Amino acid sequence: MVVPLVIGVVITCAAITGKATIRAMERYAKLTPIDIARLNNIKLVFDDPKKQKNSFADRSDMFKDVKIDLDLLKRFKNPPYSGGFDSRMTENEALLILDISRSEILSLDKNMLKAKHRKCIIKNHPDRGGSPYLATKINQAKDLLEKSYFMNK
């Protein structure tokens, strides 16, 4: 008699939690790097102290001369790959594993591929505490790209 009531309460709690999570994710997706810096108490440095205004009416002008750490900005423009591995490796996944950006694809040659592979394998080699699984994936990515269209242009 009490079991249906408990099940109903659990389902309701799960639904409310899911709804709140979705709302939070939507709000997070709309944040700009400047908003994230403000939320994380990262101090923004202005070129001209007069530009540092407190009124919300001048907010568009306020951030014209802001200096932000370039590495921080790069992370927001190209967020890290946030997923696992596919069952079968694709060229896109191989490019992500070897950290080959969109702008580098057109100039990709054997020397660049070798350098990117070397850099990745040095960071993740099993003899230096890296994962054997990751080393295998890095080698698979290199082998796949060597046989791909990108190398046989």
CATH superfamily assigned to domain 91-146 = DnaJ domain (1.10.287.110)
Position 92 scores a pLDDT of 85
Q: How far is CA 57 from CA 19, 38, 89, in A?
A: 33, 18, 50
Q: What is the mean pLDDT of the chain?
A: 79
Please give the average per-residue pLDDT across 54-72, as a whole number.
54
Q: Alpha-carbon distance 152 to 110, whole Å?
A: 10
Task: Quickly state the pLDDT bin for 77 (edges 50, 70, 90).
Answer: low
Position 90 scores a pLDDT of 87
Q: Alpha-carbon distance 112 to 115, whole Å?
A: 5
Q: Alpha-carbon distance 52 to 140, whole Å?
A: 51
Q: How far is CA 51 from CA 56, 59, 65, in A?
A: 13, 10, 8
Q: What whole-number percentage of the chain has pLDDT above 70?
A: 72
Domain boundaries, the chain: 3-77, 91-146
